[in-house]
Chain A
Amino acid sequence: MIGLGHFLVISAALFSLGIMCVLTRKNAVNVLMGVELILNSANINLVAFSKFSAGNMSGQIFAIFIIVIAAAEAAVALAIVLSMYRIIKSVDLDRADTLKG
């Protein structure tokens, strides 16, 4: 029988992968993919809690809002990455190094 625990393990794994991706990748687009993993791990958590333990729908409603936010965030994020690419011809984060100190 698949229960709450299974979902929580998957979500925790996804969250950790997301954080790892964000910390290790040098490509801005890859980092954004890691962020998407983090957001979706939260979605799994919300839906699983809503179904198994909370006994109300707020978790599932919350998840729908997060999907919308993730889309909005991705739109702005890609626009900023594109704008950066137009200037330095690269999406490598190591090359975004003019601000230091």
Chain B
Amino acid sequence: MNPQLLLDLQKFYPELALTAAFLCVIVADIAFPRIRKRLTFAIAALGLAVAFFLSLPLIGEPAGTIFSGSLALDEMAVFFKCFLIATSLLVLLAAPGSKELSQRHMGEFYMLLLGVTLSMLLLASSVDMLMLYLSLEMVSIGSYVMVGYLKNDRQSNEASLKYLLFGTVATGAMLYGITILYGLTGTTKIALLREALATNIATGENAAMLLIATALIVAGFGFKTAAVPFHFWCPDVYTGAPTPVTAFLSVAPKAAGFAILIRFFFTGFAESGSPGSWTAFSFIDWRLLIIVISVVTMTFGNIAALRQNNIKRLLAYSSIAHAGYILMGTVVLNSQGLQSVLIYLITYLFMNLGAFLIVIEIFNRTGSFDIDDYRGLSRRSPFLTIAMTIFMLSLMGIPPFAGFFGKLYVFGAAVNNDLAWFAVVGALNSVISVYYYARVIRAMIIEPGRETSLIPLPWTSHVMVWIMLLPTVGLMLFWNDIQQLTMSSLRLFLG
């Protein structure tokens, strides 16, 4: 056996742990029908926890690639490994509390969750376009099935079908762009792309082809991160999917999409100058492309959210808007911009998952996603009302909650790098968003409701809400640590 392969496998432990857990869940699901509900849950949780702790020792490793240059191992990759595994673990812990899911048997759900997590880890660290495409498809195919998990539910099926049709076309178009790029440069490695582009294409003779290829590839990234104009699937899928799946989709694949977008453009389409700063290639203005997408995404997301009555749809448009804010950090081509993206993702993870968690709890009791049915909630469950209010305030970006610091960093990075107008657009958008988030709070606290019966909350749900609530409220107390953590996670392997 090739000794290099064995060495590479040692740096692949998190993924191997997830694969092992994935297989064990399948076997346990079939072999132990009596205890399978608890057993599969335990295996999945254990697998994710083990994968998380196996990722930590990789932090000190020297940056490099494994498996013949198809996957990168650098600080950025390790950060996203930990982030994605943590997200999946939180969704996994929340899933059994959802009435929508627990009607069906859960083994397959855990299996899919582990599979998608594994493929997201690969996506976030791929440095070869073949690996990029394979892992992107793997994430997508797994997510299609997760969205359609409620087999007998019409909306779940419909959401799955829409996601599938939109996703296959978007990734197909992206693939066509990748092939053009391969034709122009003769390589599938993203780092070699940079060298080939810097020398051969700089003459400008193939500029049009390069522009088409880039636009098609951005379509694929836009689909994963739900950026306008590739967002059409997002509201429908978020509404139709079981709520834990919606929560998962709104954070994890989006984060993986941003990871690969950063990796692709920073290593393939920009020249690294002094440490921690990049210069975009002049012959293709991808920065402008992303700026335009970002502005349109946040504006559209916020305006469309204004007239939603379904809480899941509202959060879907809100997540589109947040994708716009995060994109703002990616066009600031230095370590400040990258750091702001990572910080934003951390804050977004807790406040967004938290909001969906409350939606799950309320649906369990009322069976409705209608914001009108949130009326009078402050009487029925003060705890859920306070928690939801905090998540909404955090999503608005009101200090002292976590969301404020995320926005502060992204806007700050834009202002410090001659994009002040961009930060102003973002700030105006945050003002628009206050309206629809506040509407949820108003319905819960001010408007009287017909029902007055108390909403019982099992202790597991209490624990889960606290897990999301504490970081959302208390993140600022650990601000130095967060800053150091993200600062030390910025290194990208540049080939």
* A residues in contact with B129, CB < 8 Å: 62
Which chain A positions have C-beta within 8 A of B182? 45-46, 49, 54, 58-59, 62
- Which residues of chain B have C-beta atoms less than 8 A from A38's C-beta? 169, 172-173, 175-176
Task: Using CB atoms and an 8 Å cutoff, list the residues of chain A in contact with chain B.
Answer: 8, 15, 18-19, 22, 28, 31-32, 34-35, 38-39, 41-42, 45-46, 48-49, 53-56, 58-59, 61-62, 65-66, 69, 72-73, 76-77, 80-81, 83-84, 87-88, 93, 96, 98-101
Contacts of B164 in A (CB 8 A): 76-77, 80
Q: Which 7 A-B pairs have the closest CB atoms?
A: A54-B186, A38-B172, A45-B179, A49-B183, A99-B236, A35-B168, A96-B158
Told that A66-B133, A93-B161 touch, could you supply 8 new A-B pairs with CB distance under 8 A?
A38-B172, A39-B175, A53-B186, A58-B188, A69-B137, A72-B141, A76-B164, A84-B160
Q: Given the complex of chains A and B, what is the CA–CA distance between A65 and B173 in angstroms?
A: 16
Decide: A45 near B186, CB < 8 A? Known: A31-B165, A80-B148: no
Bound-state CA distance A34–B169 (Å) is 9
Instruction: Look across to chain A and name the residue whose beta carbon is closest to the beta carbon of B178.
Output: A42
Residue in chain B with minimal CB distance to A61:
B130
A73-B168 contact given A62-B130, A96-B162, CB 8 Å threshold: yes
Interfacial chain A residues near B162, Cβ < 8 Å = 96, 99
The digit string for B307-343, where 1 denotes a CB below 8 A from any CB of A, is 0111001000000000000000000000000000000
A98:B169 contact, CB within 8 angstroms: no
The total of chain B residues at the interface (CB under 8 A) is: 43
A-B contact list, 6 entries, CB within 8 Å: A19-B173, A45-B182, A62-B129, A62-B130, A72-B137, A99-B162
Interchain CB contact under 8 A, A84 and B158: yes
- A99 touching B158, Cβ below 8 Å: yes
The answer to whether A35 and B172 touch across the interface, beta carbons within 8 angstroms, is yes
Residues of A within 8 A of B391 (CB): none
Is B157 in the interface zone, CB < 8 Å from A? yes
- Specify which chain B residues have a CB less than 8 angstroms from the CB of A18 in the assembled complex: 172
Q: Cα distance A65–B144 when bound, in Å? A: 20
Tell me, in angstroms, the Cα distance from A72 to B162 when the chains sit together.
Answer: 18
Evaluate whether A35 and B169 lie within 8 angstroms (CB atoms) in the complex, with A62-B130, A83-B157, A88-B154 already known: yes
Q: Does B134 contact A69, Cβ atoms closer than 8 Å? A: yes
Give A45 to B172 CA distance when docked, in angstroms. Answer: 13
Residues of B within 8 A of A72 (CB): 137, 141
B19 beta carbon closer than 8 Å to chain A = no
B179 contact from A49, A77, A98, Cβ within 8 A: A49
A22 and B218 CA atoms in complex are apart in Å by 19
* With known contacts A38-B172, A58-B187, A83-B151, A99–B239 Cβ distance under 8 A: yes
Could you mark each residue 134-160 of chain B with 1 if its beta carbon is under 8 Å from any beta carbon of chain A, else 0? 100100010011001001101101111
Chain A residues within an 8 Å CB radius of B443: none
CA distance A53 to B311 in the complex (A): 53
A45 and B176 within 8 A (CB): yes
**Residue B180 interfacial (CB < 8 Å):** yes
Q: Which chain A residue lies CB-closest to B151?
A: A83
A12 to chain B, nearest CB (A): 9
Please tell me if B235 contacts chain A, counting CB pairs below 8 Å.
yes
Contacts of A84 in B (CB 8 A): 157-158, 160-161
| Inter-chain contacts of A31 with B (CB < 8 A) | 165
A15 to B152, CA, bound (A): 35
Instruction: Judge whether B115 is part of the interface by a CB distance below 8 angstroms.
Output: no
Residues on the B chain within 8 Å of A98, using CB? 154-155, 158
How far does the alpha carbon of A70 sit from the alpha carbon of B188 in the complex, in Å?
Answer: 19
| Complex Cα spacing A84 to B133, Å | 27
How many Å lie between the Cα of A67 and that of B45 in the bound state? Answer: 34
Give the distance in Å from the alpha carbon of A26 to the alpha carbon of B179 in the complex.
29
Nearest Cβ in chain A — how far from B430, in angstroms?
23
CB of B154, distance to nearest CB on chain A (Å): 5
* Contact in complex: A54, B183 (CB < 8 Å): yes
Could you tell me if B175 and A42 are in contact, using CB atoms closer than 8 angstroms?
Answer: yes
Answer yes or no: B240 CB below 8 A from chain A CBs.
yes
CA distance A80 to B410 in the complex (A): 39
